[in-house]
Structure 1
Amino acid sequence: MSSAWLKSYMPRSLYARAAIILVLPVVVLLLVVGIAFLQKHLEDVTAQMTTSSAREVTLILETMEGAETQLQALAAMRQDLVALDMKARFLGIDERPAVGMRRWYDFIAPQVAAELHAKLPQLTAVALPSGDEARLYLQTDLGPFELVLDRRRLSPAAPHQLIVTMVFFAVVMTTISFLYMRNQLRPITRLADAAQAFGRGRVVPYSPGGAIEVRAAGSAFLDMRARIERQIEQRTLMLSGVSHDLRTPLTRLKLGLSMLPEDEAAPLQKDVDEMQLLLDAFLEFSRGAAEGAPEQVDPRHLLQVIVDDAQRAGYDARLVATDGEGQAMLRPTAIRRAVENLIGNAVRYGNKAELSLSLTAKTLRIRVEDDGPGIAPEDRTEAVKPFSRLDPARNQNKGSGVGLGLAIVADIARAHGGVLRLGKSERLGGLSADIIIAR
């Protein structure tokens, strides 16, 4: 429960999560090492080096205390300057300290200047330019004084190089690791794509690859897909075979009934017609969504054609709303059968059917509404099961059926990776049936 808030900020992609796993430890390590190095090591070493340089500067200033002129002062400190490898001169009357700009990556320079100002009261300015020299400007009794010394005597040489080196190699190693990780994740994404395509009714070529565990999962998926395909094929063959074999005796029965007197043949003819209807429903259910391969279809045009055909058949059906444009990967024959079944149910239990289409970047929704009695919420799950007939909910006097209409629609929706949802029509007050398919 405590980690639920964190999940909303985490990426959902496998690649993004792998990138976080790779990059986050490297960034944390760089921050910890960098901060610890800068605060603990560099600052301590810099303080010691500036203290030592300040003492040397103080020694030079003490050697010129008894001098009366600038030349005498320079002569007095010449020996110490040579020993300490420094250069010194007095500034002219109108000459100002040439402080200049320091290097932007010289992050230790502010500490050097602060340490020198704290230890040398005579110091007026510190110049830490981009070269290897540091210039200290001091105020003496004989006038402004410039002292030049090696920059490396005030702080470690080029301390930024360590950070730059760390960042450079961290980026290089992270890139190499991510490329390797991508090769390891690619078989997983291929497996996910194949499983998603199969769930939407498409079979894409797939061969197991990658690590042993991924190969095992891929092989298991192929076995599962093969078993499901065999079951669907066996069910289709069985129902088709039974339905086909029963047509011959039904035809003989019809021929025999045609030879009987009309008053005797009428009840039997009704039974034969009902058996014919049952066989047609079984055959339609056995076909399911197996007809045709998925293809790019314009859903709006397909629905308009279905509505036009329904109107020519005498049904009160209309396409009342469409939202969004584009194409979707569908089996047009199966979708036509599903929508026609919904329209047939709507006009059988009501007076009219109104269709609407909603097409977004992620989903396709086909809605069929009627003004009939509808289906109670507690019966909607049962209504989509094969051979289910809800007599109290739907007026059976207006039509007959075998309880396969909604089951066929649900089967076609599942074959497209979607779902059939039943609800109450806010517009007409009857049943609202939605075919929702992920794009």
Structure 2
Amino acid sequence: MIFQWLKRYVPRSLYARAALILVVPVVALQIVVSVVFIKRDLEDVTVQMTATILREMRLVQQVLNTAPDRTAALAQASGILHPLNMQLQFLSPGAAPPEDVFGLTEFSGRVVREEMSKAFPAFLAIQFLPEHRVRVYFDTVHGPAELVLDRRRLTAAAPHQLIVTMLLFGLVMMLISFLYMRNQLRPIKRLANAAEAFGRGRVVPYSPAGALEVRAAGSAFLDMRARIERQIEQRTLMLSGVSHDLRTPLTRMKLELALLDPEDAAPMLRDVEEMQALLDAFLDFTRGAAVSEPEKLDPEAFVAEIVAGWQRQEKPVVLAQVSGGGEVTLRRQPMRRAVENLISNAVRYGSQAKVSLTLTERSMRIRVEDDGPGIPAEQRGDAVRPFTRLDPARNQDRGSGVGLGLAIVADTARAHGGTLRLGESAELGGLQADIVIAR
């Protein structure tokens, strides 16, 4: 439970987590050393120095108490005050009782007061002055007396120097560690950026660098990227050959059917056209998003152009909503084919299609809704698989396909580092298909 609570406050980036791992132990060590130094070493030294001053104060008190009056007391005490580097005077009769005076960060002074209160019953008050002087008030038979002495005889001179030195040295070491850590993490960030870009269909220059493990991961990534690119290239070349070899006999068949009687040739001509449509669908799916380079474009103008093309065909397609703005890096032709596939399904299985575009700082969403029968929630996973037909659920009367429309959309979304989400349209009641891509 505690770990789950802490997880919400832990940084997400590798650099921030590494910095946290570096800073927390150093800060904890500084605090522990400071507390131990203040509570033990500094306090012990202060107690020992205070005990020495207390012995001297008892001696001064004895000398003062044996004198018959204040004048004689000051005269008798002058012989010992000068060697002890102290100054003494009596408070005037009727003077207000003295009060303690401490600085805001005074720790040693409070230890001195506590020790004097316990070991010297005649102690009245102590005042720590800015000019490194201390006034100690104590009672005598002739009234309260004020004893002035050098502060360095009671407390360590500049006890904070060790703590300040330790803190400065810790900050310098942390700064050096941060610089070194940034250089070590930079190759990892470059590898992550290259992998993220490749996942979105872009190839950025990358060369392995850094520690041995990072170099090994970078080399493995380059090998994987090269294999994927070779497979895509080989698949594209193979499909080009298949397209050429299959389209040629289909064209000859169309020419031969054109010479026959139209009524007799009509069924066979429909079969040839269906074979042509099947071939185009296969090629679109297997070609994927690898045949064009990504480019920056205005998504609003891009979607509006697609919708306008369907409207020119007098199809019930409208661009309902556009929110946000800015440019997005996309592969134009594959993304256009994906959006048109969604619109084609919408007008095929419903009576209208509504397209909307939403842009945020992090993502772009293209939504296509229809008023058709939709797809049940338990079949939406199968709907995006290649060659899966859901005609019974999608009104088979409207025509047939090869089960590649949504598969092409999903494949295009993944090639852009995004996803295809299927749901139910809250407004139209049919299928709601969202292409969501990170910006």
- Counterpart of 1:256 in structure 2 is 256
- The one-letter code matched in structure 1 to 2:17 is R
| Residue 204 of structure 1, CA deviation | 1.0
| Residue 93 of structure 1, CA deviation | 6.7
CA contact (8 A) 2:98 2:124 kept: no
Structure 2 Cα separation of the partners of residues 422 and 237 of structure 1: 33
- Counterpart of 1:342 in structure 2 is 342
- Counterpart of 2:281 in structure 1 is 281
Structure 2 CA distance for partners of 1:24 and 1:380, relative to 1, 3 Å:
same
- Counterpart of 1:380 in structure 2 is 380
- Counterpart of 1:164 in structure 2 is 164
Deviates more, 1:236-245 or 1:252-261: 236-245
| Residue 377 of structure 1, CA deviation | 2.1
- Counterpart of 1:431 in structure 2 is 431
| Residue 4 of structure 1, CA deviation | 2.7
- Counterpart of 2:140 in structure 1 is 140
TM-score normalized with structure 2 length: 0.93
CA contact (8 A) 1:350 1:370 kept: yes
CA contact (8 A) 1:243 1:282 kept: no
CA contact (8 A) 1:124 1:139 kept: yes
- The one-letter code matched in structure 2 to 1:293 is E
- Counterpart of 1:365 in structure 2 is 365
Structure 2 Cα separation of the partners of residues 100 and 111 of structure 1: 13
- Counterpart of 2:179 in structure 1 is 179
| Residue 173 of structure 1, CA deviation | 0.9
- Counterpart of 1:351 in structure 2 is 351
Q: Deviations over 1:157-201 (max 9, x none)?
A: 222112112211111111111111111111111111111111111
Structure 1 Cα separation of the partners of residues 274 and 292 of structure 2: 29
- The one-letter code matched in structure 2 to 1:217 is A
CA contact (8 A) 2:338 2:412 kept: yes
| Residue correspondence of structure 1 range 412-423 to structure 2 within 5 A | 412-423=412-423
| Residue 425 of structure 1, CA deviation | 1.7
Q: Deviations over 1:338-361 (max 9, x none)?
A: 111110111111111111222222
Deviates more, 1:199-208 or 1:261-270: 261-270
* Ranges in structure 1 where 5+ consecutive residues have no aligned partner: none
CA contact (8 A) 2:124 2:137 kept: yes
- Counterpart of 2:70 in structure 1 is 70
Within the alignment, does 1:30 sit opposite 2:30 as a pair?
A: yes
CA contact (8 A) 2:19 2:178 kept: yes
TM-score normalized with structure 1 length: 0.93
Structure 2 Cα separation of the partners of residues 203 and 98 of structure 1: 80
What is the CA RMSD across the aligned residues, in angstroms?
2.2
- The one-letter code matched in structure 2 to 1:232 is I
1:45 counterpart SS class: helix
2:354 counterpart SS class: strand
Deviates more, 1:68-77 or 1:350-359: 68-77
Q: Deviations over 1:90-126 (max 9, x none)?
A: 4567988998965544322222223223333433332
- Counterpart of 1:401 in structure 2 is 401
* Ranges in structure 2 where 5+ consecutive residues have no aligned partner: none
Structure 1 Cα separation of the partners of residues 299 and 428 of structure 2: 23
- The one-letter code matched in structure 2 to 1:156 is A
Structure 2 CA distance for partners of 1:101 and 1:198, relative to 1, 3 Å:
farther
Q: Deviations over 1:364-385 (max 9, x none)?
A: 1111111112222222222212
1:435 counterpart SS class: strand
Identical residues among aligned pairs (%):
60
CA contact (8 A) 1:191 1:218 kept: yes
- Counterpart of 1:221 in structure 2 is 221
- The one-letter code matched in structure 2 to 1:136 is V
| Residue correspondence of structure 1 range 179-218 to structure 2 within 5 A | 179-218=179-218
